[in-house]
Structure 1
Amino acid sequence: NFEEISDEEKRFPIAFARTVYRDYLMLEQMLSVEYAPHNVYCYSLDRKADKKFKERIRALSRCFSKNVFVSDEEYNVYSSGKNVSRSHLACLEKLNKRKEDWKYVVLLQNHDLPLRTNAELVRIFKAYNGTNDIATKNIVPNTVVKSLDWSLKGLRLYRNENAYPPNIKQLNHTKSLNLIVLSRAAVNFTLKQLNVYPFIDQYVIWRTYGKQTNRCMSDYLRHDMPSFDYGAIFCWLSTLAARRLSREIDINEKYYQQLPHIFQ
């Protein structure tokens, strides 16, 4: 029953790209809360995931074949970051070829929970006015080998040799989360104008100095993640589903419009 979907939502389709590897039932329940027939959903499978999990995800995509699908490529994805970007790019490549006029895409990991209803996301993304939502901060020292060539031309970053901006010669490195929100225009530019794979390869291969270890270097925290509690997840998703059915919208649109990076 999609009677709770407003015309505003239908005029503003959203895409979701999620890298997955475990906990199928939780993923199915998240889709039941997020799903709208005018949105599009892409799952990128971790190559290491077990066979039964992959079969379930593919069966789910067949049930909703019009707008739920699985990316063509599989990568061995690691929590250290290896192949996370490639996994998402596999979905972005497929999403960008779709006929749906989606406005924004949300990049997600396996256990990233929705915090807003679809109607609220539409209001937030409309407030963004075409701006991307990418959190950045300074990188940890020694995570970039500075002796390597990080110039735009050295990385062959642009597909067109004549497209290099004259006032930008070198990349400045910053750190971001994997969970980001990109406009359709940004995705199209990245896939059509840029060649990002040499940069990804160079950064992943030469990411840190010295020998790596699995030992907990701080002797305090290893992954900084709490124990998995499905009861809390079920409770929250039920709450979000109820809010969606009631058409409740609880956001301060002016807050998003006044964020410093938003296009005015």
Structure 2
Amino acid sequence: MLVCTMVIFSMAPRMTMSFWSSTKNNILWRRKETEHLDCGRVLRNDKKYIENFTGDNRISIVTNLKYLDMSCDAIQNRIIPFNFHLRPLKVGVVFARVVYKDYEFLEKQVQMSYHPQNIFCFFIDSKSDSDFKWRMRRLGRCLPNIHVMDEELPIDSAGHNMNMAHYKCMEKMVKIPNWGYFVLMQNHDVIGKTVYEISRIFEILDGANDIDIDKEFGRIEERFEWDLKTLRLFRDESIYTSSFLNSSLRISKGSVQGSLSREAVEWMVKTVNPRKYGVDEQWISTFQANEFLEMPGHFTDKCLKETGNKTDFITRWSKWSWSDEMGEKCGSKYVRHGVCIMGIEELPVIARMPNIMFNKVLIPYEKWFS
């Protein structure tokens, strides 16, 4: 239900006054703009009904934040379900998200995946406006399992400092007990599964990482040396042979998003020193694809090495549309950086997908396409 509401109002072309609506008998918060929607009809792909909320009829959302109560009581009441017992999770999860805008969207994402055993780590782009930073830091002070990193770095769409932002969260999270998986996220990723479904997925993975790996196409700097010794990849080189340290990494490409076991995160923080290596889409995929590194939770690189076949993942789903500049292949008819912008038209498909999250949802779309 919440995923339905999020996507429907995410692409609103008009701006109208809105407030949160709630009742003490409800475990979910819905906005007044969307409380009339029948998400069941949307998810059943009732095309005639869906057409009522497409094109110029998309439901409006206003980001008039001066009306949003930012007291800790208000924030806690919006996020934590009322009168609702949350049974324990078998696997607690860290959601590590690099952010720069759309506070209400991000708060809603915390609500959608909130559980006392889950942890939320946010790293803020230093270029974000001061009001956004203030609200994120208020959020971090109001719940003990929400951490907003003090440090900020400039982050851009080319991936500069994206790895470092996630790594800063890793360094902090390894000091916190009782979680099993670490999910790397970006600003506009939307969680599509319940906390119990996510916990069950990671219980089944049982320590295996879920990382997208593919061949790297043309972004490798040939003038640099990519052997482990030159990269100084391992913190303590004395325990490795010279033959091992002279081995070169085979650079792989994948998504920024991915899910790492706790053991893999501890390995990245305590055993290797990945601070200087790779752009955002080469980072975790290359560690995963080089089997000889013995990263905890890795799997065989035989498919990539022998056949060049891509290994897909379930952490995130995107609808790619590189050759479709006008977005005709996208249900919403909008595309950005080769990825369809998700609208209500995509929800029946999303509901059937096994992925934990999907991308992209932008609020509102005219900011990107005007």
Settle same-fold status: TM greater than 0.5: yes
| Residues 78-117 of structure 1 deviation map (CA, whole Å, 9 limit, x = unaligned) | 111111101111111111112x310001110000000111
Aligned residue in 2 for 1:224: 338
Give the TM-score of the pair, scaled to structure 1.
0.75
* Residue 32, structure 1, aligned to residue 111, structure 2: yes
Aligned length: 219
Aligned residue in 2 for 1:72: 150
On the 8 A contact 2:121/2:147 being kept in 1, the answer is yes
How many angstroms does 1:76 deviate by? 0.6
On the 8 A contact 2:91/2:200 being kept in 1, the answer is no
Aligned residue in 1 for 2:216: 139
Aligned residue in 2 for 1:101: 178
Query: What residue ranges of structure 1 are gaps of 5+ in the alignment?
Result: 205-217, 241-249, 252-264
On the 8 A contact 1:2/1:36 being kept in 2, the answer is no
| Residues 60-81 of structure 1 deviation map (CA, whole Å, 9 limit, x = unaligned) | 11111x1101113211111111
Question: For the residues of structure 1 that align with 2:192 and 2:240, how far apart are their CA atoms?
Answer: 39
Question: For the residues of structure 2 that align with 1:228 and 1:77, how far apart are their CA atoms?
Answer: 23
How many angstroms does 1:56 deviate by? 0.3
Mark the CA change 1:2 to 1:77 in structure 2 (over 3 Å): closer, same or farther.
farther
| Residues 118-166 of structure 1 deviation map (CA, whole Å, 9 limit, x = unaligned) | 100111101111011110111112x112231100001000010124364
- Higher RCO (Cα < 8 Å, 6 or more apart): 1
* Residue 19, structure 1, aligned to residue 98, structure 2: yes
Question: For the residues of structure 2 that align with 1:83 and 1:124, how far apart are their CA atoms?
Answer: 29
Question: For the residues of structure 2 that align with 1:90 and 1:2, how far apart are their CA atoms?
Answer: 35
Mark the CA change 1:199 to 1:2 in structure 2 (over 3 Å): closer, same or farther.
farther
- Matches for 1:206-245 after TM superposition, within 5 Å: 220=325, 223-226=337-340, 232=344
Question: Which residue identity is paired with 2:179?
Answer: W
- Matches for 1:42-57 after TM superposition, within 5 Å: 42-57=121-136
Give the TM-score of the pair, scaled to structure 2.
0.54
Aligned residue in 2 for 1:156: 232
> In percent, how many aligned pairs have the same letter?
35
Q: 1:5 aligns with which of 73, 86, 91?
A: 86
How many angstroms does 1:226 deviate by? 4.3
Question: For the residues of structure 1 that align with 2:180 and 2:234, how far apart are their CA atoms?
Answer: 24
How many angstroms does 1:5 deviate by? 2.4
- Runs of 4+ in structure 1 deviating by more than 3 angstroms, as ranges, are 1-4, 163-168, 218-222, 225-229
Question: For the residues of structure 1 that align with 2:337 and 2:127, how far apart are their CA atoms?
Answer: 20
